[in-house]
Homo-oligomer: A and B are copies of this chain.
Amino acid sequence: MPTIAVDAMGGDNAPEEVVKGVAQVSLETDIQSTLVGDEAQIQAVLNSVPYNPAHIGIQHTFEAIGMGDNAGDAVRRKRKASILVATRLVADGQADAVVTAGNTGAAVLACAQHLKTIRGVRKAALASVYPRQTEYPGQDQLALLLDVGATVRCDAIELVQFALMGSAYARRISKIPSPRVALLNMGTEETKGGEVLTRAYRRLKRFSGINFVGNIEGNDLAKGKADVIVCEGLLGNVVLKMLEGLAEVVVDLAGTARRENWRWKLGFLMLASGFGGLRDLTDYTAYGGAPVLGFEHLLIKLHGRSNARAVENAVKVAAKTVRDGVTREIAAHIEQL
């Protein structure tokens, strides 16, 4: 059984929700979890819920990186921060993957400092799942968007590598045998979006290892045209935050409905019951995990607001990626390139 190092101190609801999520995993599965953080706080939460002590270890550390901290500074100064200690457990062979709901920049830097890059990979990518409409039977309700902020600008080969990494991850996680891979662009024609995107398009078209469906545009992101959407970090980050902002508006709307106005309340409830998408959108910030791809081991980054169920889900997903050999599959694809 895989061992997952869990950053107990990362996220808006840490350590409470993180520890509760891990406790639930310990009861339901044989996955080994190592909770990394302040032992007294972790044990206090564990004492408040049922859990299986045979499946949970604690690695004590007193430092933690806050959500608002500058990632670069914090990673340099706090060498014993929980996210760094958790990632070092993986680097030292004491764990197989990392789960954190903490500072995104610190999580990516922790990987860069402590994990080995897959041979041939030029840049790591942060991928994020988000809900959208489906178009074919069996299609997953979640699409994978990468990179959403580990990089700023990318060249054509880097984008092609992101496509391969995202495709391999989606194939394992979503059980779609051949995920549709697309480039995010300002038009569908092969020559749109400048030299980098045109070259990436031509390389992807020639590569038989993935199901490349061409370019998609901004209005296609809410549709099911692609399962893996590839772009540079600047673009992906803006897109992801727009999707999150939209989710916030819907959540606000639901909150306002609850508090204030019977018309809104009734309207929102009726709409939500008829239209699953809105509900999915409000939920996904709690459940969407974002893998950092490109290293020999995976780190899954959860949204800062994650609750126990989101943590539970992420630990299970992390264990599955280890059992399925996702990073070995990525390595094999990169080698073929």
> Which B residues are CB-close (under 8 A) to A246?
222, 246
Complex CA gap A221/B248 in Å reads 12
Determine the chain B residues whose CB is within 8 A of the CB of A243 once the complex forms.
Answer: 218
- Given contacts A234-B186, A239-B218, whether A270 and B263 have CB atoms under 8 Å apart is yes
A234 touches B274 (CB 8 A): no
A284 on interface, CB distance cutoff 8 Å:
no
A234: chain B residues at CB < 8 Å are 185-186, 193-194, 197, 235
Give the distance in Å from the alpha carbon of A243 to the alpha carbon of B220 in the complex: 11
Task: Report if A210 contacts B (CB, 8 A).
Answer: no
Given contacts A218-B240, A221-B245, contact A271 B274 (CB under 8 A): no
Give residues 187-246 of A contacting B (CB, 8 Å).
187, 193-194, 197, 217-223, 233-235, 237-246
A267 contacts chain B at the CB level, 8 A cutoff? yes
Complex CA gap A266/B269 in Å reads 10
Residue A47 CB within 8 A of the other chain: no
- Measured between alpha carbons, how far is A55 from B187 in the docked complex, in Å? 39
* Interface presence of A337 (CB below 8 A): no
Size bracket of the A interface = 35 or more
Contact call A263/B267, Cβ cutoff below 8 A = no
Q: In the complex the two chains form, what is the Cα distance from A233 to B187 in whole Å?
A: 11
Q: Are B235 and A219 in contact (CB under 8 A)?
A: no
Say yes or no: is A318 at the interface (Cβ < 8 Å to chain B).
Answer: no
A275 within 8 A of B: yes
Asked if B268 and A245 sit within 8 Å, CB to CB, the answer is: no
Given A221-B242, A242-B218, A261-B274, are A193 and B152 neighbors across the interface (CB < 8 Å)?
A: yes
Contacts A186-B149, A233-B186; A248 near B219 (Cβ below 8 A): yes
Name the distance in Å between A149's Cβ and chain B's nearest Cβ. Answer: 6
Tell me how many chains of this kind the complex includes.
2
Report if A14 contacts B (CB, 8 A): no
A152 nearest in chain B by CB position: B194
Give CA–CA (A152, B189) in the complex, Å: 14
User: Which residues between 244 and 258 of chain A lie within 8 Å of chain B, taking CB atoms?
Assistant: 244-246, 248-249, 253
Interface flags for A259-288 (1: CB within 8 Å of B; 0: not) read: 001011011111111110100000000000
On whether A238 and B275 interact (CB within 8 A), knowing A219-B245, A264-B270, the answer reads no
CB within 8 Å for A273 and B263 given contacts A218-B239, A246-B246: yes
Across the interface, do B273 and A271 meet the contact criterion of CB distance under 8 Å?
A: no
Q: 3 closest pairs, A vs B, by CB?
A: A267-B270, A218-B241, A219-B245
Chain A to chain B contacts (Cβ below 8 Å), 22 pairs: A152-B186, A152-B193, A186-B234, A217-B237, A218-B237, A218-B239, A218-B240, A218-B242, A218-B245, A220-B241, A221-B245, A222-B245, A235-B235, A238-B238, A239-B239, A239-B242, A242-B242, A249-B277, A253-B271, A253-B275, A267-B267, A267-B269
Query: What is A's interface to B at a CB cutoff of 8 Å?
Result: 149, 152-153, 184-187, 193-194, 197, 217-223, 233-235, 237-246, 248-249, 253, 261, 263-264, 266-275, 277
